[in-house]
Structure 1
C-alpha cells in the first residue's frame, strides 16, 4: 500500500533516472493512483519518455499528461517537418511507408493508413518522435492482418504466462473472430500495456480491446 506522497516520490524518482530527462522540468502530483505530469520540455520524445517512466511505477492507475513541448526558435515550417517525417518513414525498414499518410498542423502530426502488424504501427510513431519541430503524434493507423487463420485462445494465454512480470492468472482472454478482449486486473499501467503488446504478436489479430483494470490499494488519508 502506498500513500499519495509515496506514489509521487516514486514517479519523480523514475523520471529522475531517465538519462534524457531533467527532473526539474517536470512536476508530478499524485492522488489515488492518478498521476499528473506538468512542465515544459524541448523535444517531443522527452514528453513520451516521462509518460512511459510514470506508467512503469507500480500503483499508477492513470496518467494525466499536461507537459508542453516548446522548441527554441527552430524556425521550422510544417512543410519542413512533413519532409523529415516522410524521410524517416522511408529510412525505417520495418515501416511500410507507402501505406501511411501524414498530416502536419502547427507541429501536431497525425498518421493514418493501414498495416498488417501492430509492430509496424508502433515503429511508425517511434521513427518520428525525435524529429525537430514535432509537438505531438496521433497514430490512427489501422491493423488489417493478412493471416486469416483461426486465433487460438490457448496460444495467447501461453504467451502471457511466459512473461514472468505479468500475473497472467488474473488476466482473462476472449476471442471473437479477429478481435481479442482482455479483462481482469494488473498492478500498473506498464503491465496493462505489456499484456496488450504480447497479444498483438499473435498472427491474425485485427483489434485488441484492452479492458484490464489497474488494481492497487492506497493508504487512506486520515
Structure 2
C-alpha cells in the first residue's frame, strides 16, 4: 500500500527514468490514485511518454493530463505544413493503408478518421505522426472493420488472457456479442487494464472493445 506522497514520488521517478523526459519540467500531484500531470514540453511525443510512464506505476487509477506543448519558432508550423507531413508519415508506414485514412489539422491538433482491418494499424497510424514537430495533439477516430468473418470465440480470448504473466485472468470477465467484446472485472493497475485490451485486440474479427475493467488498489491511511 502507498500513501499519496509515496505514489507522487513513484510517478516522479518513473517520469525522470524516461530518457526523453530527463530535462522536462513536469509537475505531479496524487490523490487517492488519481495522478495529475502538468508542465510544458516541446513535443507531443514527450507528453505521451509522461502519460505512459505514469500509467505504468502501481497504484495509479487514473491520469489527468494537463501538460502543455510549446514549440520554438524554429519548429512551429502551419496546419497545412503539418498536414503534408502527416500524410507523408502515413504513406511511409508499411503497416498503414494511408488511402483509407482521412486527416484533419486544426491549430496543430490532428484528427485521424477512416477504417482499418486491425487495431495495430490504428495504433501505428498515431505513432507515425506523434514525433512530427508542430503537432500539439492527436485524436484517433479510426474505426476497426475487419474483413475476417470467423466467429469470435470467448474461450479463445480467455485462454489468451490466461497466458499473460502480468494479468490475473480469473478476475477478468469476457463477453462477446458479434464483433464486439466487453471486458469487466478488476485489475491492479492501468497498465494491466491496457495490457488486457491489447491482448484481446489480437483476436481476428474484432471491431470494437468495451473495456470496463476497474483498477482496484488499497491506499495506506495517513
8 Å contact kept, 1:160–1:166: yes
In the superposition, the TM-score normalised over structure 2's length comes to: 0.98
8 Å contact kept, 2:43–2:71: yes
Match of 2:171 in 1: 170
Residue 48 in structure 1 maps to residue 48 in structure 2: yes
Superposed counterparts of 1:116-127, under 5 Å: 116-127=117-128
In 2, Cα distance between the equivalents of 1:198 and 1:24? Answer: 32
* 1:81-118 deviation per Cα after TM superposition (whole angstroms, max 9, x unaligned): 00000000000000110100000011001000000110
* 1:12-69 deviation per Cα after TM superposition (whole angstroms, max 9, x unaligned): 1100100000365100000000000000000000000000000000110000000001
* 1:133-154 deviation per Cα after TM superposition (whole angstroms, max 9, x unaligned): 0000000000111111110111
Can you give the 5+ residue segments of structure 1 that lack an aligned partner in the other structure? none
Can you give the 5+ residue segments of structure 2 that lack an aligned partner in the other structure? none
* 1:176-196 deviation per Cα after TM superposition (whole angstroms, max 9, x unaligned): 111100001111111101100
Match of 1:180 in 2: 181
8 Å contact kept, 1:15–1:23: no
Match of 2:31 in 1: 31
8 Å contact kept, 1:39–1:67: yes
Match of 1:94 in 2: 95
Residue 59 in structure 1 maps to residue 59 in structure 2: yes
The alignment of Structure 1 onto Structure 2 pairs a total of residues equal to: 221
Match of 2:203 in 1: 202
8 Å contact kept, 1:12–1:23: no
* Structure 1: 4+ residue segments shifted above 2 A: none
Structure 2 residue matching 1:127: 3-state secondary structure:
helix
Structure-2 change in CA distance of 1:113 and 1:63 (3 Å): same
Match of 1:10 in 2: 10
In the superposition, the TM-score normalised over structure 1's length comes to: 0.98
